[in-house]
């Protein structure tokens, strides 16, 4: 069974791409086959894996706009068990052209569900920092929305719009969409960070993951090396915390499957 996770937040600079990359690599390290899908026109996830945006003949825009199949567009990376559907600036045109199509919010959902024998345990989707047609497609296609959030006022405030989009997606395209909030770039020495973290837990309860990602300069360095943190510095704090995150989400997936089977 393929589990699809969208990584999204309207607020930029919250370690969204870092989370998609590091989580995917941690899943792969733990033995799962993983597909990363870059849906951001900035193509930072593509860059972070050592690919030059624009060099790939087929990108995520070909899935969204041209009905190309998932497997025809995916590329192997240098990391075992980790494949990528790269992005390019062309994906931006999706925001203009998709809304005129019938059932445009479920194009990615159909692309994933109608591909027989997808050889992946997890699909992780890196979304743009906007709540338009592309992000709506990612949420419609996903079992879980992972929302990276800094323990800062503006980042926490942006959750209001994310919750509204979750409700609309559940009503229109994906009634079983779940969400979890991941606190990122946490500085435990900072009282404001600690207070907002506690407020998030008080407000969202089990919707906030137990795992937190603390500040780690190695997380900023790893994309320059074209490697996820788990390979760039295997013993770094960021590596350990993203492995713990992967394990927490794998446990969550098992619990969900058991509930559905019951």
Tens-digit pLDDT profile for residues 21-33: 999 999 999 999 9
Rounded to whole angstroms, the Cα distance separating 18 from 200 reads 21
* Domain containing residue 78: CATH number: 3.40.50.300
Number of domain units in the chain: 1
- Low-confidence winner among 77-86, 87-96, 103-112 (lowest mean pLDDT): 87-96
The mean pLDDT value for 130-148 works out to 97
Q: Binning pLDDT at 50, 70 and 90, where does residue 54 land?
A: confident
pTM beyond 0.85: the answer is yes
Per residue in 205-215, pLDDT (tens digit) is 999 999 999 99
Structure confidence at residue 98 (pLDDT):
93
Contact residues for 77 (Cβ-Cβ < 8 A; gap 6+): 49, 50, 83, 84
The mean pLDDT value for 55-62 works out to 92
Q: Give me the domain span that covers residue 10.
A: 3-261
Calculate helix-pair angle for 133-140, 159-172, nearest 10 degrees. Answer: 60
Residue 168: both structure tokens together: 């609309």
Residue 12: both structure tokens together: 């930029």
Structure confidence at residue 150 (pLDDT):
92
Structure confidence at residue 26 (pLDDT):
97
Structure confidence at residue 1 (pLDDT):
80
């Amino acid at each position: 069974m393929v589990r699809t996770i969208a990584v999204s937040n309207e607020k930029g600079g919250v370690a969204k791409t870092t989370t998609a990359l590091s989580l995917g690599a941690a899943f792969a390290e733990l033995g799962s086959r993983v597909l990363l899908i870059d849906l951001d026109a900035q193509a930072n996830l593509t860059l972070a894996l050592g690919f030059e945006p624009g060099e790939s003949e087929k990108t995520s825009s070909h899935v969204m706009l041209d009905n190309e199949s998932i497997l025809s567009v995916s590329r192997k990376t240098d990391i075992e068990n980790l494949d990528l559907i790269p992005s390019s600036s062309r994906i931006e045109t999706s925001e203009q052209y998709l809304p005129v199509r019938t059932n445009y919010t479920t194009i990615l959902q159909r692309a994933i569900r109608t591909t027989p024998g997808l050889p992946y345990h997890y699909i992780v989707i890196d979304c743009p920092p906007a709540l338009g047609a592309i992000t709506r497609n990612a949420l419609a296609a996903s079992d879980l929305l992972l929302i990276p959030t800094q323990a800062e006022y503006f980042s926490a405030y942006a959750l209001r719009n994310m919750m509204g989009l979750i409700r609309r997606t559940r009503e229109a395209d994906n009634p079983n969409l779940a969400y979890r909030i991941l606190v990122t770039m946490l500085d435990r020495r900072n009282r404001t960070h600690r207070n907002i973290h506690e407020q998030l837990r008080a407000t969202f309860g089990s919707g906030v993951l137990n795992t937190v990602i603390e500040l780690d300069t190695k997380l900023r360095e790893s994309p320059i090396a074209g490697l996820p943190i788990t390979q760039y510095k295997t013993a770094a704090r960021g590596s350990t915390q993203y492995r713990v995150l992967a394990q927490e989400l794998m446990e969550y997936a098992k619990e969900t499957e058991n509930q559905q089977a019951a």
